[in-house]
A and B are shown apart, each in its own frame.
Chain A
Amino acid sequence: MVKAAAKQKKQSFRKSVPLLVIALPAILYILVNNYLPMFGVFLAFKDYNFFKGIFGSDWCGLDNFKFLFATENAWIMTRNTILYNLAFIVIGTVFAIAVAILMNEVGKLFRAKFFQSALLLPNLLSWVVIAYIGYAFLNPETGFINNTVLSSLGKEGVAWYTESSKWPFILILVYLWKNMGYSSIIYMASIAGIDKGIFEAARLDGASKLRQIFSITVPLLKPTVIMLTLMSVGRIFFSDFGLFYQVPMNSGALYSTTQTIDTYVYRGLMELNDVGMSAAAALYQSVVGFIVVVAANAVVRKVDSENALF
């Protein structure tokens, strides 16, 4: 009995050897890129000194973390980070699914390929380039919106880079424009994987296109949605630095709606260059992210155990 089990185990291991070999480069990459640097977490608790080195530097307890909570800005940047990420998760998912479904309906013709590429293109641009595209629209003196759109409507121009109230909309719009195409690819792949027979049966029963979408496509996408959402929930304390730093052109007047944890850390530490404080900020974000993922997964497991990640 035991022998047989052991044999089976050995066999299944032998079977998975090729798979492991295939996965090896990726595993190595993760080890080197994500696990090796973890060695440095204790820097977050040290007062780093070059002469004393990493091991010799003095411990300083939680001092490095203080700056994250020191001011009322702490509240603003945490709020911004979380709210933006929530908005991105919800709106981003809705748009990505909508696009995926539409693309699926367009079929496999030339136009489908064209739309796909066109939607994907913004994702290939760097944030700096996008920031300047945005600037071409929003420049208060020569920008397209003030100069062409608003002036032709006979309206006064808006000083876009000093009015913080407009930026939640602008940032979400820019985010969608850049990321929608890319995130819809995964959904397109999932839709392609749905058994065509189900749609056929529905058509025979006289279900309309909309009915098919809401009763077949969307429910069958649920596992994918849950997985992707859980993954982005884990990064809820991180923000896309380029989006929040480059796109608003680093304008001080916009901080109340564009400051996130990452930009705060960057701006604050540009002057101090402190290794310990940067490590502290990253550790804080990771730990909170980890807790949020575990919590979200626990909720999913309670509600719908099949779709939980672990």
Chain B
Amino acid sequence: MKGKKVVSYFMAAVLMTGICGSVPAAEVHAEGDYEKVVYAFPSFNNIPTEESIASVEEAINEITREKINVEVDLMPLNIAEYTQQVTLALQGGEAVDCFMSLGDFNNCVSTGMAADITDLVDTYAPETRDLIGEEWMKTTTKEGAVYGFPTYKPVALTPMVVYKQKYVDELGIDMSKVNSIEDLTDVLRKVKEAYPDITPLVPVNSGETGIMQAAGDVDFLSDDYTSPKGVLMGESTEVVDFYSTDRFKELCSLTRTWYNEGLIMKDAATTTAAAAELMSADNSFCYVAAYSYPEADTAASLEAQCGNFELGAKIIGEAYLDTSSVNALTWMISSTSKVPEAALKFLNLTFTDKEVVNLIIYGIEGRDYVKDAEDFVSYPEGQDASTVPYTAQLSCGVLGNFFIMYPMAGTNKESLDWELEQNKAAKTSNAMGFSFNSSSVKTEYTAVANVVSQYLPGLQCGSVDPETELPKFIDALNSAGMGSIVSAKQEQLDTWMAENK
């Protein structure tokens, strides 16, 4: 025990270079006969105080003691440091039993953070397994071993243009005619013509114009959409370098046109302001991004962040599901967990038990939230998200089962049906379930990632000329080892296809 402490101390010292902050120590509870499970989840709200967390834990424990003979230790961590803190805790040998992959399913598996729970699932979490369904369970299965459950929530991201309603009304633009990213050009031109001082299109994030998400049916094969490498286009099962495709070239020429005509923000490639901030200003009209809610809901929910302008949203493409859209947020059991069975039992409840998941999200009824007859939730009189003792409301899309959480007041229940429907109806990639293990091409990945971050922002924001820059980009990619990545992906995909067809 002592030796372990020393080791963990060393490790902390090794890994703390430049990182401040500490992981709350999980105490070892000997009292009672209940197994103790530590549930580390990312919170987008303020982190509540120890006492408020303890009171919520107690409320959950009352349920879990009886149902599964387990006590839980909630560990809400700030979203910005979640990955770091969980990694650090696992390296230091601290107890974290349940954690979330936060976008990096493959990494969690290939570095051995996640435990193989294949043999436990049927015994301890059959309800969750059935809820997720065979198709989606494939995304968290690797080489025959199950590593977790994807968060059950609206995952079908539909590309949309989000715009300020007043300009559309004044100019009499018919947004229903805008059905693709290309259709957007005319709208932007009209706005520019009528209001020369306006920047019609702003980026979503620095160097990100939304065109990658509106590119059509592209399976990014485990890469982030902001930095794709080898991809599958549409129905094809041949892995290709996304940047050499005609589709990418078209998109670059499109944004170049926008740039030359002044339709897109000039410093879109370098600005550090994100869409919400840019839309709050008077001189912007729209941006393109992908959302998982219906048009009207999306627009309504964004208004508060976007300077209270009246917004509209129009879908400009179809949702497309690939493995990472499902397994990006996967709940896993840590490989260092001493109580994997208990952890899995608890995880199962976060997917199936309405009371448990709502306690984690909203805290204690009456103190942290109030609920009306139809189960719509709002904050107690005179309170809001930042003043109640406990809330993790903004994490609703990352914890367990979104569809059994109480809805917030102001949303409507039909939207939930739409979202559930989208999940089922969305077009699905041929390689759904396949995930790529990059460990054989780590060196190339690092090099290619650098090249992509060098060229991609300029190209997708139109600030450089694709005629001259795109060939340079492709050359640089090839010399950085894009070819090896593509062939490694192809090889793994072929093997996977052979096993799964």
Contacts and interface: CB of A to CB of B under 8 A. Distances in A.
Contact of B14 (A40, A66, A259, A268): A40
5 contacts: A37-B14, A252-B453, A253-B463, A253-B464, A267-B450
A65 B31 CA distance: 48
Contact of B224 (A52, A251, A271): A271
B463 A159 contact: yes
Contacts of A270: 449
Given A73-B480, A162-B463, A51 B13 contact: no
Interface in A147-198: 159, 161-162
B479 A252 contact: no
B14 A43 contact: yes
List 7 A-B pairs, minimum CB-CB distance, nearest first.
A268-B446, A51-B112, A40-B14, A51-B335, A49-B112, A252-B454, A161-B270
Interface stretch (B250-258, B293-301, B437-445): B437-445
B445 A271 contact: yes
Contact of B447 (A47, A162, A268): A268
Interface string B409-444: 000000000000000000000000000001100111
A229 interface: no
A64 B450 CA distance: 17
A260 B15 CA distance: 22
B336 interface: yes
Interface residues of B, number: 51
A228 interface: no
B207 A252 contact: yes
Interface in B440-483: 442-447, 449-451, 453-458, 463-464, 479-481
Nearest to A241: B18
Given A43-B14, A253-B454, A52 B112 contact: yes
Interface string B329-342: 00000111000000
A84 B480 CA distance: 24
Given A253-B269, A271-B227, A50 B445 contact: no
A141 interface: yes
A162 B458 contact: yes
Contacts of B17: 37
A198 to B, nearest CB: 46
Contacts of B458: 162, 252-253
Interface string A268-288: 111111110100000000000
B184 interface: no
B10 interface: yes
B282 to A, nearest CB: 14
